Amino acid sequence: MFDVMVVLPLIATGAGAILIMLVAAFETFRKEGLSILGMGLFAFAFFVQLTVDNSGDITPFAGVFNGMLVANTFTKVAGLIILACGFFSAIAAQTYFTQNKGFVPEFYCMLLFAAFGMLLLTMVAELITLFIALEIMSLAVYSLVGYDRRSVVRSEAVLKYLMLGAFAGAFYVMGVVLIYAGAGSTRFAEIGATIAAYGFLANPALVGGSLLVLFALLFKAAVFPLHAWVVDVYDGAPLPVTGFMATAVKAASFAVLANFLTIDSAIHQEWLIFLFYISILTMFAGNLIAIGQNNIKRMLAASGIVHSGYLLIALVALGSEQVSGAIILYYLAAYGIATLGLFVALSYLSGVEEKRTVFDDFRGLAKVRPYSAACIAVFLLSMAGIPPTAGFMGKLYIIAGAYQAGHVVLAVIGIVSSILSIWYYLRLIVVMYFREPEDDFAVAEMTLAPLGTMVLAIGIFAISLYPVAW
Amino acid sequence: MLDNMLSVMIFLPILGGLTILLLPFGRDAARAIGLAGSAVVALFSLKLFFSFDPSVVLAFVEQRPLLESFGISYHLGIDGISLLVLMAAGLLFPLVYLLFRTRDKGYYGNLLLVQGAMIGAVCAADMVLFYVFWEIMLLPMFFMIGLYGGPRRLPATIKITIYTITGSLLMLASIVYLGLAHHAQTGQWSFAMAALTELSLSGPGATLAFFGFMAAFAIKIPLFPFHTWLPDAYTEAPAATTFVLSAIMAKIGVYGVIRFVLPVFDESLVRYALLFSWAGVISMLYCGLAALAQNDFKRLLAFSSASHMGIIALGVFCLNLQALTGTLYQIVAHATSTGLLFLLLGLVEEQSESRQIDSFGGMASRAPILAVFFAVAMLASVGLPGTSGFIGEFLIILGAIKFNVVIGVLAATTLVVGVCYMLWLFQRLFFQKPGKSTDRCRELSLVEAATILPVIVLIIVMGVYPQPFLDRIIPSAERQIVKVVSERAAVAEHAPVSNQFQEQN
């Protein structure tokens, strides 16, 4: 019975997606009903996930699934983040579709499918299942990006994403083949045992294979040098989808990266130097791109790259302290709340057909819609890492973790990068507060997004003092 | 109520500020809330002052765990050093609400927020808590300058923000370093001030952390060469904000050095004290000369304030009891005198809408009370005997000469520059032939005069009868400096340092 509870969130999202697909065929269920159903499924899965006690490694239905899935506290929290992201993306979508044409009932279905793939991704303990989960997530996200076939921008974005994603998938499969050749198994546990017995570097197939797998996962996480697609794809995707991609996809990718790197300490050790430089380059590449942006969506996409860099710092420090997992998840939660908050706010502020997207379009927002502006300011300050927001605590943990693992250089560069990033976060605040309004920021009708924005803004402060187990 | 007096003093203004900002109040209601809130805080700080027991290391302590796994706690408490800055932050704010009546409600809300954060920073006995309040302090300033400042407010806002955030993040790195050092040396996490003081820090890491702290505080003070944000921010900020920046916020920078850097980084401080005292002297001289050249009275006062902050900073780096006591005394003296100058000229600026010294003149006959108040504050600011400024500056110069004769003499000479620009300013504004802006100025109203009078009285009382203040300062100053003095004695290997120490008692 307990096993059922562990996989119930998976069932709720997976079966829920199919349910929505079926229900969408009926004329009586239209926009409102479907969005409520989507949100409800996410909320249900969230609360189930929240109530299950996942301490220790649990292999649900070990016989049926052949031990492919492992649940523990790490997967539980990662799943919570993903489901919360899904819930708020659904809220953003509900509002977004009151102002924009092109609603398709399958939208929520794809959202749930993607979440299903992500939940699976966090729990896998085997490389083939990982591939299946990765592709479930990716295919659902591809269709979310390009659901509006009439739009050229969306089609371009989905083409870019799909092509590159397919390459990443191919790399991944190649990597799995090599690892299988080297270790004779695709199970994490057995690969770890092989490495422990024969060494990692002694086996070129394992080295090459793990590099290819890493590449595929880093692509999903938008890490240098595989970050170039992010800005265009995020910009081309509809707002709620961008928010979902920026948060949930990133959370799932980093969760699975952390799991993959902890297969055996040798894998982590050998790739340490590689990850070290990659994280530095990611932070600076992201900052350079973000500083030049004039479009908020693009700026957020680029700043997402920078945050990937911070998360990589935590990954580098991983293994030296057991808590790194907790730090990564805390940071993902903090980053997720702030980013989602911005996208939820944009989903109603950007107006019909996303007409307000540039910094200058938000001139004087604080005078016309003071609460929205205050919430946005809170999100931006959290992303910049100003106390007492969650973003500050996240950075504090990451920097402390890096120091403790002996990577003082990384800690210092992380701080320098935060200083740089303040430049573009403050720009939006300056525009919102210090300019005179020209627009009345009319919103189509009463929707859920403003409420969601408020909840997320409070959440920033609420989790800032949430204790991370050390 | 008395058990968590400090918490009340911190969160009453913060909650009041948030209430004003988030709820749709009018301007008058906002001002009334602000005045009421700051008046309550002022009463509390008077109560603190009179019931403060100088023999206790940390008075009015409140402690609750916040993030237990990390050793971060909600730990408040004040000693003689915090007491003075706390008094400045607690007592001077009501003036702003009484003198400036026609501001937006957001302005009053932000003022309350900044007051709460300042008091929080001064009361914090935990490094992370201090950092949190230190940063919260920044945000209202950002909005106050950016929203309500002068015509070139945007560049000024961005400049001050980038400077202070850079400083803060460097400080954050140093705080993390200290926490880790504590973890490495004792096996436990702690960011409590008292625990960090016990650490023995050495090596390049400690030096870097020391400079990280010093950068943050030097920017806030501001010390040469980190002063370049100051003229813009002080000039573009509205009068009350400039007052807050110069009278209180700069002091929290000095406070940070005395309270944190002095006991924790005693070794590094002894090693680099000479460097920083030169920075202090250069600040004095450079900003003093720059003040002489200004034709904009707010800019002149900005440079004058920076110049006087230079001497305050110098007092810290002389590392002896006289200078430190003088610095602490001067913190209050400077807050009252320079703060008052900014307020008075802020009123003049609001009425005449001009800041050009040339366009004034002859104000003494038009507004005699204003002129008298201005004269008292000015004389205190240049350190005339019988005013509060004298005691502090005298002690600092005394300490500086003991520390290093060249620096001491140079600092004493530099004070003359201060007298020059101040008297010249006074002459050009209040005497001479009336200029075209003078007509638009009016005399202080009864309420305004009554508001300012207590500060004038305080300036004179502190100049004539400094003992009650010194009684509260000296025990804490001694505790703070005792480690450094012995360190210096060990370095210099001659006895007079400890003799100095006894002379003062």
The DSSP annotation for B55-96 comes to TSSSEEEEEEEEEGGGTEEEEEEE-HHHHHHHHHHHHSHHHH
Count of CB atoms within 10 A of residue A149's CB? 11
Cβ partners under 8 Å of residue B267, min gap 6: B201, B202, B206, B487
Cβ partners under 8 Å of residue B110, min gap 6: B17, B21, B140, B141, B143, B144
Cβ-based interface (< 8 Å): residues of A facing B: 371, 374, 381, 385-388, 392, 396, 399-400, 403-404, 408, 411-412, 415, 418-419, 422-423, 426, 430, 433-434, 465, 467-470
What distances in angstroms separate CA B318 from CA A58, B328, B406, one per listed residue? 63, 13, 12
Give the H/E segment covering residue A335. Answer: helix A324-349
What is d(CA A458, CA A105) in angstroms, rounded to the nearest whole number? 31
What is d(CA A470, CA A277) in angstroms, rounded to the nearest whole number? 27
- By C-alpha distance, the chain A residue nearest B145 is A434
Q: Which of A381, A415, A469 sits opposite B69 (nearest CB)?
A: A469
Q: How far is CA B120 from the centre of its chain?
A: 14
- Distance linking the first and last C-alpha atoms of chain B: 36
Residue with the bigger pLDDT between B58 and B277: it is: B277
Amino acid at B452: I
- CA angle in degrees (0–180, nearest 5) for B262-B42-B321: 25
Whether residue B475 is preceded by a cis peptide bond, meaning omega within 30 degrees of 0, is no
Using DSSP's 3-state secondary structure scheme, residue A54 falls into: coil
**Chain A: nearest CA to B466, how far in angstroms?**
39
**Chain B: nearest CA to A377, how far in angstroms?**
11
Query: What phi and psi, each to the nearest 5 degrees, are found at residue B288?
Result: -65, -45
**Chain A: nearest CA to B289, how far in angstroms?**
33
What is d(CA B272, CA A466) in angstroms, rounded to the nearest whole number? 40
What is d(CA A221, CA A251) in angstroms, rounded to the nearest whole number? 8
Q: What is the pTM of this model?
A: 0.85
Amino acid at B360: F
Which chain A residues are closer than 8 Å to B24 by Cβ? none
Amino acid at B224: F
Q: Which of B67, B169, B180 sits opposite A404 (nearest CB)?
A: B180
Amino acid at B120: G
In contact, A85 and A248? CB cutoff 8 Å: yes
Nearest of B213, B210, B208 to residue B169 by alpha carbon: B213
Which chain B residues are closer than 8 Å to A385 by Cβ? 169
Lookup: tokens for B231? 């003229």
What is d(CA B130, CA B431) in angstroms, rounded to the nearest whole number? 46
Interface A-B: count of C-beta contacts within 8 A: 75
- CA angle in degrees (0–180, nearest 5) for B370-B371-B377: 90
**Chain A: nearest CA to B181, how far in angstroms?**
10
Lookup: tokens for A357? 């997207």
Angle, nearest 10°, between helix axes A408-434 and B153-186? 150
Using DSSP's 3-state secondary structure scheme, residue A319 falls into: coil
Residue B23 at interface with chain A, using a CB cutoff of 8 Å = no
Give the H/E segment covering residue A184. Answer: none
- What does DSSP say about strands B72-78 and B59-67: parallel, antiparallel, or unpaired? antiparallel
Give the H/E segment covering residue A361. Answer: none
Question: Which DSSP string do the residues of B300-322 spell out, in sequence order?
Answer: HHHHHHHHHHHHHHHHHHT-SHH
Are A430 and B180 in contact (CB < 8 Å)? no
Residue with the bigger pLDDT between A87 and B70: it is: A87
Q: Which long-range contacts (CB under 8 A, 24 or more apart) does B485-492 make?
A: B485/B319, B485/B320, B485/B321, B487/B266, B487/B267, B487/B270, B488/B270, B488/B319, B491/B270
Q: What is the pLDDT of residue A322?
A: 58
> Cα Rg for chain B, rounded, in angstroms?
22
Are B179 and A400 in contact (CB < 8 Å)? yes
DSSP annotation of A61 reads T
Whether residue B225 is preceded by a cis peptide bond, meaning omega within 30 degrees of 0, is yes
What is d(CA B120, CA A393) in angstroms, rounded to the nearest whole number? 18
Q: What is the pLDDT of residue B501?
A: 45
Mind listing the pLDDT tens digit of every residue in chain A (470 residues)?
578 888 888 989 999 999 988 888 877 767 778 888 889 999 999 999 888 877 777 787 777 777 788 888 888 889 999 999 999 999 888 888 888 877 788 888 999 999 999 999 998 888 999 999 999 999 999 999 888 778 888 888 898 899 999 999 999 999 999 999 988 888 888 888 888 888 888 888 888 998 999 999 999 888 888 888 888 899 888 888 999 999 999 999 999 988 888 877 777 777 888 888 999 999 999 999 998 888 999 999 999 999 999 999 888 876 655 557 788 888 999 999 999 999 999 888 887 777 888 888 888 888 888 888 899 999 999 998 888 888 888 888 888 888 877 788 888 888 889 888 888 898 888 888 888 887 777 776 667 888 888 889 998 888 877 766 54
**Looking at the DSSP assignment, which residues form a beta bridge with residue B62?**
B76
Give the H/E segment covering residue A188. Answer: helix A188-198
Q: What is the pLDDT of residue A445?
A: 64
Nearest of B131, B211, B209, B202 to residue B177 by alpha carbon: B209
